[in-house]
Chain A
Amino acid sequence: NAGVTQTPKFQVLKTGQSMTLQCAQDMNHNSMYWYRQDPGMGLRLIYYSASEGTTDKGEVPNGYNVSRLNKREFSLRLESAAPSQTSVYFCASSEVGPPREQYFGPGTRLTVT
């Protein structure tokens, strides 16, 4: 039982390059989330998926796209990376019912030069 896994752990991109961050969970959770964490700030929600087949924008969705591939997997894509997207990205999952405890992955540290 690995919980929430993310790949890659580290990535360096040049401005304008694209990449996809992968996330998978083995807890049979319906809901999944993508956050970014920047120094001195709280985590901010980029996108979430309440259940398989649905996705919704969070607080900071610009420059990102997501795909809920199946119940286990939720990917985040940067189509044209910008230095402002340098951050640590966390994926999380939760059940639908209260209290919707969220379980986080280990994070992907992304640097855009």
Chain B
Amino acid sequence: KNQVEQSPQSLIILEGKNCTLQCNYTVSPFSNLRWYKQDTGRGPVSLTIMTFSENTKSNGRYTATLDADTKQSSLHITASQLSDSASYICVVKVGDSSYKLIFGSGTRLLVRP
């Protein structure tokens, strides 16, 4: 069964600190892995898309890593800001020709001043 699991479910950090969110997946065939940020009451917004051959990808203070051998990904947030408070969703696309995405249930991050 295709699954995407994220940890932790929720996380509280102080402003300015770094954090790392985890994603494990069992999806076959694998096409790409995405990280989305979802602010409360809004739709998800893409942060990164990584294909099989990409190990690391950055978008400002967000850095995603992908280990295709262990089927793990992480999202590292550097020097957190209050605006980083949101849910972060790991998503894996099934196969290159399909439209199917497998969504994780997300990690809810709260950044406190």
Q: Which chain A positions have C-beta within 8 A of B111?
A: none
Q: Which chain A positions have C-beta within 8 A of B49?
A: 99, 101
CB under 8 Å from chain B, chain A span 72-95: 90, 92
Query: In the bound complex, what is the Cα–Cα distance between A42 and B6 (angstroms)?
Result: 10
A87 to chain B, nearest CB (A): 14
B36 to chain A, nearest CB (A): 8
Query: In the bound complex, what is the Cα–Cα distance between A103 and B45 (angstroms)?
Result: 7
CB under 8 Å from chain B, chain A span 26-69: 31, 33, 40-45, 48, 50
Decide: B42 and A42 in contact? CB cutoff 8 A: no
Task: Select from chain A the residue with minimum beta-carbon distance to B89.
Answer: A42
Counting chain B CB atoms within 10 Å of each CB, the highest count among A40, A100, A101 belongs to: A100
Tell me whether B96 is interfacial, beta carbon within 8 Å.
yes
Tell me the dominant secondary structure on chain B's binding face.
strand
Decide: B102 and A104 in contact? CB cutoff 8 A: no
Q: State which of A42, A48, A103, A107 has its C-beta within 8 Å of the C-beta of B103.
A: A42
Given A42-B106, A99-B32, A101-B49: A33 in contact with B99 (beta carbons within 8 A): yes
Tell me the dominant secondary structure on chain A's binding face.
loop
User: How extensive is the interface on chain B, given as a class?
Assistant: 20 to 34
Tell me whether B56 is interfacial, beta carbon within 8 Å.
no
A60 to chain B, nearest CB (A): 12
Tell me whether A11 is interfacial, beta carbon within 8 Å.
no
Decide: A31 and B99 in contact? CB cutoff 8 A: yes
Tell me whether B105 is interfacial, beta carbon within 8 Å.
yes
Decide: A42 and B105 in contact? CB cutoff 8 A: yes
Given A31-B99, A104-B44, A104-B45: A99 in contact with B93 (beta carbons within 8 A): yes
Counting chain B CB atoms within 10 Å of each CB, the highest count among A43, A48, A92, A102 belongs to: A43
Query: In the bound complex, what is the Cα–Cα distance between A41 and B5 (angstroms)?
Result: 10
Tell me whether B46 is interfacial, beta carbon within 8 Å.
yes
Q: Which chain A positions have C-beta within 8 A of B42?
A: 106-107
Q: Which chain B positions have C-beta within 8 A of A105?
A: 43
Q: State which of A41, A50, A106 has its C-beta within 8 Å of the C-beta of B105.
A: A41
Tell me whether B41 is interfacial, beta carbon within 8 Å.
yes
